[in-house]
């Protein structure tokens, strides 16, 4: 696909005016993300539960919160009930994931981060807590 066709599709998708596109395209990192990372739109970000003692939402080991690389939750591939205390910390990992995609520093998608929900757990005055492994899944 030619560069201008990519930009036209992007503008339509975002609903940007020509002026907003000018602003968007003035940032080299944004331009690089759109033009040099075609695999980006095909990737999935996964937050997989690896521990879940006392989780009030009843998330269990192996549950997967599945998102587009752009951070939109894919509800049909995620648990029916999702705890916002779990999803919040996951969202903070997305900028680092974007940077790895832009820089192509993790071409095999082997990097991951471990995050904890914002509940501190029973021993510290909370209810429970979960730990999640956050990683990028290659396009199929």
Would you tell me how many other CB atoms lie within 10 Å of the CB of residue 82? 16
Tell which residue, 19, 20, 21, has the closest CA to residue 4. 21
Exposed/middle/buried for residue 136 (C-beta within 10 Å: 0-12, 13-18, 19+): buried
Task: Verify that 29 and 57 share a domain, yes or no.
Answer: no
Task: Verify that 54 and 18 share a domain, yes or no.
Answer: no
Tell which residue, 82, 78, 73, has the closest CA to residue 117. 82
Write phi, then psi, for 109 (nearest 5 degrees). 55, 50
Task: Verify that 76 and 107 share a domain, yes or no.
Answer: yes
Task: Verify that 126 and 90 share a domain, yes or no.
Answer: yes
Task: Verify that 29 and 45 share a domain, yes or no.
Answer: no
Residue 101 pLDDT level (bands cut at 50, 70, 90): confident
Exposed/middle/buried for residue 86 (C-beta within 10 Å: 0-12, 13-18, 19+): buried
Task: Verify that 61 and 121 share a domain, yes or no.
Answer: yes
Q: State pLDDT tens for residues 115-140.
A: 999 999 999 999 999 999 999 998 77
Q: State pLDDT tens for residues 38-92.
A: 777 788 999 999 999 999 999 999 999 999 988 899 999 999 999 999 999 999 9
Gap between the Cα atoms of 85 and 34, Å rounded: 31
Predicted TM-score (pTM) of the model is 0.85
Residue 13: domain span:
3-36
């Amino acid at each position: 696909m030619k560069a201008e066709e990519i930009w036209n599709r992007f503008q339509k998708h975002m609903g940007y005016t020509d002026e907003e596109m000018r602003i968007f395209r003035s940032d080299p990192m944004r331009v690089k993300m759109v033009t040099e990372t075609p695999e980006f739109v095909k990737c999935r970000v996964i937050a997989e539960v690896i521990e879940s003692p006392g989780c009030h939402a009843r998330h269990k080991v192996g549950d997967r919160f599945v998102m587009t690389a752009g951070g939109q939750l894919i509800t049909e591939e995620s648990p029916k009930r999702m705890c916002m205390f779990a999803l919040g910390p996951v969202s903070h990992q997305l900028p680092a994931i974007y940077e790895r995609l832009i820089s192509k520093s993790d071409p095999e998608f082997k990097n991951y981060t471990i995050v904890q929900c914002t509940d501190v757990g029973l021993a510290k005055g909370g209810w429970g807590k979960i730990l999640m492994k956050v990683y990028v899944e290659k396009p199929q």
